[in-house]
Structure 1
Amino acid sequence: MNMSIPAKEPPPMTMGSTCITELETRLRQSLAMRIQNVPEPPGHAQGHSAKIAVLFSGGLDCTLLARLSHDILPVDEPIDLLNIAFENPRVAATAQSNRSKTISPLPPVSIYENCPDRITGRSAHTELQRTCPGRTWRFIAIDVPYAETLAHRDTVKRLMRPHNTEMDMSIACALYFASRGQGSTLTSSSGIDTHEQSDNYTTSARVLLSGLGADELFAGYGRHGVAFTRSGFQGLLSEIHLDVSRLGQRNLGRDDRVLSHWGRETRFPYLDEDFVAWVLQASVWEKCGFGLPDPLPLDVSADESHQRSGINPEKMALRLVALRLSLDHVAREKKRAIQFGARTAKMETGKSKGTDILT
């Protein structure tokens, strides 16, 4: 890993920076290896059945994979977007209490549609429709009642062993039900919603795409910003090195066992060996925006300066790639952990912590 620290203020990153254009090229190469020549699933119907599905929260990492997949796959091949939302009794009770204190002529929003990842997912879906004309995007809204979460809890607990904390359970539950791929759909093509809807759809895709690894490689967690604030580039580099070194032990085994339970294979474009090696050798200021000058210098166009506004330093390199691909809204999405976005964390009232051991 490149542990070098800049002797002076590092140069700014722009959409046209060499590191950004090469990042896009290398990510495309990694993704192409994982989605081209995928065999047709049983009962494949041309133009209807999907070979590829994306674990889709609407965040930066997964939406970027979906957008690049559009450029690689034939345009008549549908892509399924698996979006998960849970009934969280604690959150539902709070919402009910708040509604009882106010008078509104509007009907209450579904507890599932109110989930943060459902909101960002639908927003990103709309942006994909706009930027990718001709592609059929099938947004699969996977709603999981609390009773169903409890019914599958022991299975998830067995699959994720030897991991055994509350946080592991929260993450594993979200991945487990998302990879099952069962939900309601609204199929859209060319940016226009069609009448092809189903309340009981199961994806035909045998290959799932995951954005795992992007946060670790490009400093996407909140603790990366804390490390930089406390110890500068040295602290930031140490935090990135720690995250990357424990990826296999902390994430991959657990996620792979849970995701493969339903007979699907998950592929991780951000963890391609060549891609990871290239990212690790790049300077830290070519991955994220911590310590970069702001605003942009005068030799950058006013239009690009405007586009760069509101871009967080976390994973700035990936955010600039998203801007290059016209994903303006997605490029500005803040990082949200899956357990909070899908609302699998802290389903019961109490003072449980993510590090608590499961009973």
Structure 2
Amino acid sequence: MNKTIPQGDPPRLTVESAPVKDLELKLRDSLGLRIRDVPKPPSYRKGDANVAVLFSGGLDCSLLARLSHEILSSDETIDLLNVAFENPRVVAAAANNDKSATSAYENCPDRITGRAAFAELQRVCPGRDWRFVAVDIPYAENTGHREKVKRLMNPHNTEMDLSIACALYFASRGQGTAFESRRGDDAVPYASPARVLLSGLGADELFAGYARHGMAYSRNGFEGLIEEINLDVSRLGKRNLGRDDRIISNWGREARYPYLDEEFVSWVLRVPVWEKCGFGTPDDDEPSLGREKKALRLVALRLGLEKVAREKKRAIQFGSRTAKMEKGRTKGTDALS
């Protein structure tokens, strides 16, 4: 990893900066390797999606969807799998606040950002048939599958692992209600036939997307930030990849990780840290972008995703509301009983 510390203030990143343009090209190349020429199954019918995106509406997955539009044939549908859970604690709180008439699913943060990003993709890429799949999971259904999810994610055994695994488990199943670009507001029951699922895993670790990266910079400057990124990247396989792959492959689908392409990761790690995020530089030109993952946010701006570029990081377990379903005082690091 490049551990160079800038001498003085590092140059400000903009949409026209060479590192941002290079990043777009490198990510496009990585994604292309994973979605071009995916074999169609014998049961394929015109309009079936061959590729789907695990889609919260956040920056990382929306960028993959946007770039997929430029790589895939214009007549291919792309499924956007968006999961939301009925969380009894949240439902009870809403009832106490006289908001019981609102949908437990449509009020999930990831459903809100997912629909907003879906609308932005339709605006920016009007010729593409996007299919937004709203995967709504009742509390009883989630608890009914919980033991199976625990077996699949083993040896991981914390509350956070379970919350993340449940979200991935049901999202990758791909069953829900479909809203298609070309059908307006018509919604139909749907099960995605896509065998390839795109995941945004790795973007936060490589481009300093977590709050702890900002804290590391505040404590120890660029040295602290670089060490935190290095730690995150070094433990990705142990903390995330095995668990996520076992969960997703349970449904006979294959997760593909464009941000974790070997050549892409090697290139990103060779790039100086100030070309990946905005720490240490004034951000008065685009204050709403923030400093975490600034290079990726600028790529999103280059591609017309103005709202997506400004979406803040939200962990999947909080966005889909799988966390703290029964007890509010549990910690993510608590071992499962």
Query: The TM-score by the shorter chain falls in which range?
Result: over 0.9
What is the alpha-carbon distance in structure 2 between the residues aligned to residue 76 and residue 194 of structure 1? Answer: 18
Partner deviation per Cα, 1:190-217 (whole Å, 9 max, x = no partner): xxx536531x210010000000000000
Matching of residues 63-78 of structure 1 within 5 Å = 63-78=62-77
Counterpart in the other structure of 1:15: 15
Matching of residues 294-309 of structure 1 within 5 Å = 294-295=283-284, 305=285, 308-309=286-287
What is the alpha-carbon distance in structure 2 between the residues aligned to residue 140 and residue 248 of structure 1? Answer: 29
Aligned-pair RMSD on alpha carbons? 1.1
Q: What is the TM-score of this pair, normalised by structure 1?
A: 0.92
SS at match of 1:143: strand
- Find 1:264's aligned residue among 248, 253, 265: 253
Structure 1 residue 350 displacement after superposition? 4.4
Counterpart in the other structure of 2:3: 3
Gaps of 5+ in 2: none
Which letter maps to 1:310?
S
Counterpart in the other structure of 2:271: 282
- Find 1:341's aligned residue among 309, 313, 319: 319
Q: What is the TM-score of this pair, normalised by structure 2?
A: 0.98
What is the alpha-carbon distance in structure 1 between the residues aligned to residue 167 and residue 53 of structure 2? Answer: 14
SS at match of 1:11: coil
SS at match of 2:288: coil
Partner deviation per Cα, 1:293-321 (whole Å, 9 max, x = no partner): 333xxxxxxxxx4xx34111000000000
Structure 1 residue 132 displacement after superposition? 0.3
SS at match of 2:187: strand
CA contact (8 A) 2:283 2:290 kept: no
Structure 1 residue 174 displacement after superposition? 0.1
CA contact (8 A) 1:61 1:211 kept: yes
Which letter maps to 1:250?
R
2:201 is the counterpart of 1:212: yes
Gaps of 5+ in 1: 101-106, 296-304
2:133 is the counterpart of 1:143: no
What is the alpha-carbon distance in structure 2 between the residues aligned to residue 239 and residue 356 of structure 1? Answer: 23
SS at match of 2:97: helix
| Equivalences, count | 337
Counterpart in the other structure of 2:117: 124
SS at match of 1:139: strand
- Find 1:354's aligned residue among 328, 332, 335: 332
What is the alpha-carbon distance in structure 2 between the residues aligned to residue 324 and residue 64 of structure 1? Answer: 11
Counterpart in the other structure of 1:201: 190
Counterpart in the other structure of 2:148: 155
Which letter maps to 1:83?
N
CA contact (8 A) 1:60 1:319 kept: yes
Partner deviation per Cα, 1:205-239 (whole Å, 9 max, x = no partner): 00000000000000000000011111110110010
Counterpart in the other structure of 1:43: 43
What is the alpha-carbon distance in structure 2 between the residues aligned to residue 30 and residue 246 of structure 1? Answer: 21
